[in-house]
Structure 1
């Protein structure tokens, strides 16, 4: 293997690393989208198993987008590799939804090479923003994702399934509560000095802050201690790639393939967090791209219906999911540029309502919520 001491943060570094491997490349392009890793599309000098391009991921001991200021253990990559291998082993490969195959894992250099989903794929988030999808396509996308996630969450019911190393993903157990529940009160109280929520600070009744504080403490504890199911840990439309096909340029699209990426936070966790994160991001698309209300609503409805499948209503799951939608709206909306100040504040206020509703709302309220299809 090439120099394992290389700092693989530039295309030149990557080219040198690959030079004496089957993946030696003539062109190396930086891929946008992720923030944790340094990710590239590599164009091989000689095809490998019939493929000319692959994706190269380097896990530095810090968040790539932080410029080295935010530490992040490199062991996260081990969980991603094991997740991809596990899903490919247990999931039907001929399904419309899949995960990339791992072609190389150099644990010492913190490098993985996986199959390229293709330059013509887009994240589900970007796809919904870019174009008005025909309803059958939106329904098929939502249903495929729901079935996929439902199967994964049900694996632990199989006596032969071993959660293995995923019980010990301490990075995942630390990050998941930290970026949501760990900063709910500081976001709402103004301690985090977020411009869109200041002058004045959002008016949240004290009794609601008390409910949210107790929920945040309880949920953070559950995330660190539960073994409910094998979970993805970062399940949102930005980690789902979509490939459409058209019979002719400008023709009506049909769904070709979906790929689920970025499994570094996979762990034994709470099912409702995967469901809630996906629904929260779809809700953000609804709010900030109102012309895409129909597509986003169709995807969410199909997703939840397919996830539930033939099982009965699960109120406990729905409560965790809707509260997590609220937590995501509060913690992330003001930190990621979605839209103007007024709409951002309204979205955070909606998040507060969902957090309180998840904790205290009636069965009827829950049934009418974004995740109502889990119980109705």
Structure 2
């Protein structure tokens, strides 16, 4: 399909024949892969909805047309979210859930979801330094409990249909692999002074990652988010104002098109890396408390095998190596971040559990 639906006026016509006709549609955000819109309904639904979130896929990445990416990802993600509607987690302060799927339009690769208004990403809140330490601890604990529950739930016999669905699609997995462990050669070129001489380490890490991303390894594989980071967590815009009034807040985990059967440590490592970066580059005062609460909650859900801890350590290292130089973090901190990422990758690949006990992942290791 060519560019049939990329502007608000086109979606006004498209949604007119659905259960969610709109009086006005506006483009929101600048998603990397997809086109996203907010639809203001012509009249509220019987359940009281006044707006909907519209997510549309073209056969390329929205921000980079030359990067081809099959639009089937839209149908894949919608089906995943249909399965996840019962997986909400509630803690003493937060509820973590996913946006409710409302309708899918297969001919146009367009999904209509519950709209999460008056929200921002957790990354935005961290960079703006809007979270108190108390709030960060509650958010970290809620997210740790949620992702731990997903990993346990994903192995249940009742999720066999979801596991079959995940096994049927791997394009997003291949894209992510090529952008991460498949990009080590370019890293050496970009940072020869820091990384030259580490070719064997990178080859070992890449081979390990190929086995984790694409191998069978049935004992470890479960349902994972696949792109679990602070930019895919929506928090209320008012979250930072709740210290004096500790009322329940809703957190939403979004962007599930990379959901796959894989090792849980990949979700852990990516999230911890993105929680850590605001501390590394901006000395954010709550990042480390957020990480500790996240890992404590994950560990409380059950013993974490050493192999899974090392997976998280390796993935954290890869993330610090690969992404900060690409994603707009201050240049003056990138080389030190790359050096730290190399250290984590080296100790993770080497299986150095004693070293891990003194790292940011110490909360996962049972002494």
Report if TM-score (shorter chain) is over 0.5: yes
Q: Does 1:284 align with 2:274?
A: no
The structure-2 alpha-carbon separation of the partners of 1:70 and 1:247, relative to structure 1 and needing over 3 Å to count, comes to: closer
Would the alpha carbon gap of residues 252 and 348 (structure 1) be closer, same or farther in structure 2, given more than 3 Å must change?
Answer: farther
Is 1:232 the counterpart of 2:225 in the alignment? yes
- TM-aligned CA distance change 1:345 to 1:351, over 3 Å: same
**Deviations for 1:45-94, whole angstroms, at most 9, x for unmatched residues?**
1112311111001111110000x211001111122112211111344589
TM score, norm. by length of structure 1: 0.89
2:32 is matched with which residue: 18, 32, 35?
Answer: 35
SS of aligned partner of 1:141: helix
Cα contact 1:27–1:44 (8 A) shared by 2: yes
Shift of 1:300: 0.8
Contact 2:123 2:231 in 1 (8 A): yes
**Structure 1 unaligned blocks of 5 or more:** 191-196
Residue-by-residue CA offset, 1:348-369 (whole Å, 9 max, x unaligned): 1111111111111522101111
Please state whether the residue corresponding to 2:107 is helix, strand or coil: coil
- Does 1:353 pair with 2:353? no
Q: What runs of 5+ residues in structure 2 fail to find an aligned partner?
A: none
**Whole-angstrom distance in 1 between the partners of 2:43 and 2:357:** 55
What is the aligned partner in structure 1 of residue 293 from structure 2? 302
Paired position in structure 1 for 2:105? 106
Matched residue of 1:126: which SS? helix
| Alignment match, 2:176 | 176
**Are the aligned partners of 1:8 and 1:14 in contact in 2 as well (CA < 8 Å)?**
yes
2:234 corresponds, among 241, 245, 263, to: 241
CA distance in 1, matches of 2:314, 2:337: 14
The 1-side partners of 2:262 and 2:321 are apart by: 21
- Bigger Cα displacement from structure 2, 15-24 vs 329-338: 15-24
- DSSP-derived class of the 1:128 partner: helix
Is structure 2 residue 317 aligned with structure 1 residue 320?
no
Aligned to 1:194: none
211-220 or 246-255: which moved more?
Answer: 246-255
Partner of 1:216: 206
Paired residue for 1:17? 14
Who is 1:56 aligned against? 54
Contact 1:53–1:116 under 8 Å retained in 2: yes
Q: Displacement, 1:235?
A: 0.4
**Cα contact 1:132–1:295 (8 A) shared by 2:** no
Paired residue secondary structure (1:96) = strand
CA–CA separation in structure 2 for the residues paired with 1:246 and 1:117: 14
1:31 deviates by 1.4
1:193 is matched with which residue?
none
- Report the Cα distance in structure 1 between the residues aligned to 2:90 and 2:340, rounded to whole angstroms: 39
Given that 1:169 and 1:265 are in contact with CA atoms closer than 8 Å, whether structure 2 keeps it comes out as no
Structure 1 residue 171 displacement after superposition = 1.1
Q: Is the contact between residue 245 and residue 254 of structure 1 (CA under 8 Å) also seen in structure 2?
A: no
Which secondary structure does the structure 2 equivalent of 1:316 belong to?
helix
C-alpha change, 1:277 and 1:127, in structure 2 (3 Å) is: same
CA, structure 1 residues 256+92, in 2 after alignment: closer, same or farther (shift >3 Å)? closer
**Paired residue total:** 358
Q: 1: distance between equivalents of 2:103 and 2:286?
A: 37
Q: Distance in 1 between matches of 2:268 and 2:230?
A: 11
- Of residues 203, 214, 222 in structure 1, which corresponds to 2:194? 203
On the 8 A contact 2:131/2:240 being kept in 1, the answer is no
Conserved in 1, the CA contact under 8 Å of 2:34 and 2:55? yes
TM-score by length of 2: 0.91
For residues 194-213 of structure 1, the C-alpha deviation after alignment (integer angstroms, 9 at most, x for no partner) is xxx4xxx333251x331122
